[in-house]
Structure 1
Amino acid sequence: MYPIKKVIIGLDLSELDQTMVEFADFLSNASAVEDIYFVNVIKNLYIPKEVLKEFPDMVENAIKERKEEMEKKFEKFSKGEHKSKFHFSVLTGKIADSILKFTKEKDIDLIVMGRREKAEQSGSLSQRLARRAACSLLIIPEGTNAKMDRILVPSDFSEYSKLALEEAINIARSNQNSTEITIQNVFTVPTGYHYTGKSFEEFTEVMRENAVKNYKKFISKIDTKDIKINAVYSQDTNEDVTTDMVEKAHEINANAIIVGAKGRTATTAFFLGSIAERLIQLDNDIPLMIVRPKGKNAGFLEFLKEL
């Protein structure tokens, strides 16, 4: 897994900014992080040419004022321990397009977006960024404490799941190994199990044993860096594996969920939209990181499928 060196964090000049600044401080403590860019997007900055002729400094002054507001928010909530890592930029245009363009220009490794308690828009923006960004995405619910020391990693033992677990391990190491990592596999008893001559309970055990076997193969190929990892196996009972993931996260009091952008299980295949997008919809109170190999954004045809 590539190290996270450059991070972009959205500020919207609302109460959510306190959470974002506090998480920025948390992320800045990681030795690998070199630059954190706070960005704010002005959606409508169109000014007729005739007006600009009369007031030529209007756009420049608007951007300057917005940047000063961002810096005041930062100074108010930041501990300021790594000030040299922080930068401030004001973008213009559509929010998602502006952030993605900036992400490409600055070669960003991680996009961090906030999620307000009563704003559906923040969820839809996160979905658009998750679909299109060529890097990982971290969604921070409003009011979340800035720590990640109890992490749930849902896993189907795919390559993307491997990247998600490696990211959790990197976070654990930056926390001086005090982080608890739980890797969860959700398995389903397939329709038609009764043709095997086994009862539902018996075939449930077959699927569980298969999951345990696959986990052992999966974890043997990963350098855990001596971080303790707890494996759990959950049976899906309502044909929605993401609800099992969110329930497990609450059960273990997780303060982060880290999931791969894609994956494939024995019983179901999913694009970004299936698992990651469903988690964006369901998880409204735990930080959610969607891990994607840098530069591997969704192709155009795949993007259209996810709309």
Structure 2
Amino acid sequence: MYQIKKLIVCLDQSELDETLVKFASFVARVNQTKKIYFTNVIRNLNIPKEVLEEFPNLIDNIVEERKTKMRDLVTQTLGKIKDLEISYIVKEGQLSKKILKLAHEKSADMIILGRKVDLTGTGVLSQRLARRASCSLLIVPENSVPKIDKLLVPSDFSDYSKDAMEEAVMIVEKYGGKAEIFCQNVFSIPSGYHFTGKTYEEFSSIMQMHAEINFKKFIRKIDTKDIKITPLYTKDEDDDPVEDILAKAEEINADGIIIGAKGRTAATALFIGSMAERLIQMNHKIPLLVTRPKGKNAGILDYILEI
């Protein structure tokens, strides 16, 4: 995976902004990030032409006011980071389109976005950006604390699961190599198991055995940097693996969940995978990193921005 050299942080002048700046600081220190773009998007103002003629500096003043508020918060919260360049960008228009375009123009490596729980707001933007961004997306619930002691990586042993695991390894290595990674495979028992002559418990053992074999094959393809990776095998009893993932994350007190976006090419870029979609929808407590190899969505960006 790639290093996070250019970072976009989406601020909206809510209480969540302070948390996002703290996470930006954490990511920047761990990754030796070179550039952070703190961004605020003003929804279409729809100011009548006559008003703008009477007050020609109105929009400029609004933009400058928002930049000043961002700058004050960042100055108070971020702290000094060597060789880090900071920019403040205020745009007007549709939030997702402006962020996507900015990420493309700046060749961003990661977008940090807040997830509101009690505060006013929705999670719609998270899903849109996860599907369409040409880089990784870190979704931070309100009141989250930036730390890395335990990371959970749900895995079906696919290529995009490999992306997520490699990202987790790189993060832990840069953090000092002391954090622990848990690799969770959620398996289910096929409805026709009884045709095999095996009991439910026997077939469960067979499914877990194959999951254990596949984990060994999977992990051999990854340079783990001698970081501790603990496999976890969870039997899905209610046909909802995402609930199993979130339950396990809470059980182990995970500081973050990392999952790979399913779309790895321009042809599949809008399909991040049903598990990632559901995690974005259901997760309200734990920072979630959706990884995507940089630039994979770039080929369809011009089309998306016209939608």
Counterpart code for 2:205: E
Counterpart of 1:146 in structure 2 is: 146
Q: How far apart, in 2, do the equivalents of 1:195 and 1:299 lie?
A: 47
Partner secondary structure for residue 123 of structure 2: helix
Following TM superposition, by how much is the alpha carbon of 1:120 offset from its aligned partner in structure 2, in angstroms? 7.3
Counterpart code for 2:186: V
Cα deviation, 1:89-144, whole Å, max 9, x if unaligned, reads: 11110111111111111011111101122257431110111111111110001111
Q: How far apart, in 1, do the equivalents of 2:298 and 2:35 lie?
A: 25
Cα deviation, 1:211-254, whole Å, max 9, x if unaligned, reads: 01111111111111111100111100000001110011011100
1:36-55 matches, within 5 Å, as 36-55=36-55
Q: RMSD across aligned C-alpha pairs, in angstroms?
A: 2.1
Partner secondary structure for residue 198 of structure 1: coil
Counterpart of 2:255 in structure 1 is: 255
Gaps of 5+ in 2: 264-269
Most deviating of 270-279 and 194-203? 270-279
Q: How far apart, in 2, do the equivalents of 1:120 and 1:210 lie?
A: 45
Q: How far apart, in 1, do the equivalents of 2:204 and 2:271 lie?
A: 26
Counterpart of 2:266 in structure 1 is: none
Counterpart code for 1:107: S
Q: How far apart, in 2, do the equivalents of 1:139 and 1:96 lie?
A: 14
Q: Say whether the 8 Å CA contact 1:114–1:122 is kept in structure 2.
A: no
Following TM superposition, by how much is the alpha carbon of 1:273 offset from its aligned partner in structure 2, in angstroms? 4.7
Counterpart code for 1:65: E
Counterpart of 1:236 in structure 2 is: 236
Cα deviation, 1:47-66, whole Å, max 9, x if unaligned, reads: 33333333222222211111
Counterpart code for 1:108: A
Following TM superposition, by how much is the alpha carbon of 1:86 offset from its aligned partner in structure 2, in angstroms? 2.3
Equivalent residues, number: 296
Counterpart of 2:224 in structure 1 is: 224
Counterpart of 1:84 in structure 2 is: 84
Counterpart code for 1:251: E
Counterpart of 1:3 in structure 2 is: 3
Counterpart code for 2:196: T
> Normalising by the residue count of structure 2, what TM-score does the alignment of the two structures yield?
0.91
Counterpart of 2:169 in structure 1 is: 169
Most deviating of 74-83 and 163-172? 74-83
Cα deviation, 1:117-173, whole Å, max 9, x if unaligned, reads: 225743111011111111111000111111122100000000000000011011101
Identity %: 51
Gaps of 5+ in 1: 264-269
Counterpart of 2:289 in structure 1 is: 289
1:193 pairs with 2:193:
yes
Counterpart of 1:19 in structure 2 is: 19
Counterpart of 2:56 in structure 1 is: 56
Q: Say whether the 8 Å CA contact 1:131–1:298 is kept in structure 2.
A: no
Cα deviation, 1:26-77, whole Å, max 9, x if unaligned, reads: 0110244211111011112333333333322222221111100111111222
CA distance 1:106–1:242, shift in 2 (3 Å): same
Counterpart of 1:267 in structure 2 is: none
1:292-307 matches, within 5 Å, as 292-297=292-297
Q: How far apart, in 2, do the equivalents of 1:148 and 1:123 lie?
A: 24
1:104 pairs with 2:104:
yes
Most deviating of 70-79 and 150-159? 70-79
Q: Say whether the 8 Å CA contact 2:134–2:297 is kept in structure 1.
A: yes
Q: How far apart, in 1, do the equivalents of 2:177 and 2:273 lie?
A: 32
Q: How far apart, in 1, do the equivalents of 2:77 and 2:32 lie?
A: 23
Q: How far apart, in 2, do the equivalents of 1:297 and 1:187 lie?
A: 30
Counterpart code for 2:71: E
Most deviating of 118-127 and 197-206? 118-127
Counterpart of 1:123 in structure 2 is: 123
> Normalising by the residue count of structure 1, what TM-score does the alignment of the two structures yield?
0.91
CA distance 1:44–1:33, shift in 2 (3 Å): same
Most deviating of 204-213 and 114-123? 114-123
Counterpart code for 1:174: K
